[in-house]
Amino acid sequence: MDLFANLALGFSVAFDPYNLMFCFFGVLLGTLIGVLPGIGPVPTLAMLLPITFYLPPIPALIMLSGIYYGAQYGGSTSAILINLPGESAAVVTCLDGHQMARKGRAGAALAVAAVGSFFAGTVATLLMAIASPPLSQLALQFGAAEYFSLMVLGLIGAVVLAQGSLVKAVAMIILGLFFGLVGTDLNSGQQRFTFGLPELSDGIGFVTIAMGLFGVAEIVTNLEKKEGRTIGAIIGSLMPNKEEIRRSIPAVLRGTSVGSVLGILPGGGALLSAFAAYTFEKKMSKHPEEFGKGAVEGVAAPEAANNAGAQTSFIPMLTLGIPSNPVMALMIGAMTIQGIAPGPRVMTQQPDLFWGIIASMWIGNAMLVIINLPLIGIWVRLLKVPYRLLFPMILVLCGIGVYSLNSSAFEVGLMVLFGVLGYLFIKLGCEPAPMLLGFILGPLMEENLRRALVLSRGDPLVFFQRPISLTLLSLAALLLLIVVLPNFRKTREQAFKEV
């Protein structure tokens, strides 16, 4: 009964006209940035963080959430029509979605993607509503030692599931931890790594580093790519035929299951879920040779998985205060900006916020189906906007957003510096996401490490004497052991290449 009472509270918050407006704005903007290749939800959320300073917490977080799962819907449109993923998780959809479009089945592919995403989003939101309360109750038993161990597990999980080289992923996390140390030590009052610059005495701003790494760097990288975009697909009827429906239903169910589980894992989310669902579907299929040539399952499974993964990734963020991917790190940044401490007490101290976000996801998913299918013609026209006009406008908005926070030209320069750094990371094959997770979790890890040692009078065995902390550290050690096994390393490297 508590679940129904909580959901009733959530829907009463979500149906508030003001919150509905921001939910609609979020999913519409999310669809737009998902449709336009080369932008993605992370740079968009980074650019919109300054706006959250001037909004109440509930509409701000509802809007940012809508942008994230809305982008999963929009990314499929450009992937199917022009073979360019509007969002990274839609890379897999290109393989079969565009082949369907070349056969005149673009409308059916778009419909399968939209309906599959809606179903997956609905199931994942229900899973959030059911799983979050017991997780929050468990998290209330956490002390400083448990939180430190949980963050260690989260960072190691992010290394295991990050794309590319393990060594580079570890290096990026360490670099993120270092940047998190910049500023004034709260215990001693001494400044650390500020190099005599008073502007760094409060540390590096989260918005500044996020905009630089994901906004400026991504846009500069995209400017190198050729702009040629041709929409040669025939959209045709939006109604799939009986055979496509028959083959899509089990694929959507399997994709939803895969995405719901992988979204919760550190480093998981929409991208990993889409790749895993496609690989699983290909191995389950009686006709694997059809994949890559227009198999409808190759659209249904990854689209369901990426939306389910996007929404279940909110579970560790809302219940434990641990970001499972860069978008959740940005969401934690938005909550911090609003003066909200992410973690299990959000559910008990601010139930309207917690359940309002969950209920808004149901409403947002319904809005997305209504928005996406009738407005395909408009999205097609937007795909023709030249990059040379689009990207400079975004860079200007980034600069204005950072300057508006503290009226500091130094922070704008710092954003540009991190943009150059992010560009170099991309060129070197280093994924910036683990660095952002390290930057977010580093200060929290340090705080809980010190607190645990103070309470135990300097005894480091406190992390192994408490059952929950010992369990979490054992899982972290197991993950490290798995990483060094040759078979796992080979499987991990192939996981993102098989598709």
Highest mean pLDDT among 138-152, 346-360, 401-415, 431-445: 346-360
Lowest model confidence (mean pLDDT) among 158-167, 173-182, 305-314, 489-498: 489-498
Pure H helices in 216-350: 217-223, 242-262, 270-284, 297-312, 314-320, 326-337, 345-349
Give 268-281 pLDDT, tens digit per residue: 566 677 877 887 88
- DSSP states along 348-369: HH-HHHHHHHHHHHHHHHHHHH
**433 pLDDT above the threshold of 80:** no
Return the pLDDT at 487.
Answer: 58
Rounded Cα distance between 72 and 269, Å, is 11
**481 pLDDT above the threshold of 80:** no
Domain ranges across the chain: 2-141+150-495
DSSP state of 281: H
Going by pLDDT thresholds of 50, 70 and 90, the confidence category of residue 84 is: low
Q: Which of 280, 341, 338 is nearest to 305 (CA)?
A: 280
Which run of H or E residues covers position 493? helix 486-495
Give 53-69 pLDDT, tens digit per residue: 788 888 988 998 888 88
Rounded Cα distance between 14 and 22, Å, is 10
Average pLDDT value for residue range 323-334: 78
Q: Is the pTM of this model over 0.85?
A: no
**367 pLDDT above the threshold of 80:** yes
**1 pLDDT above the threshold of 80:** no
Return the pLDDT at 221.
Answer: 77
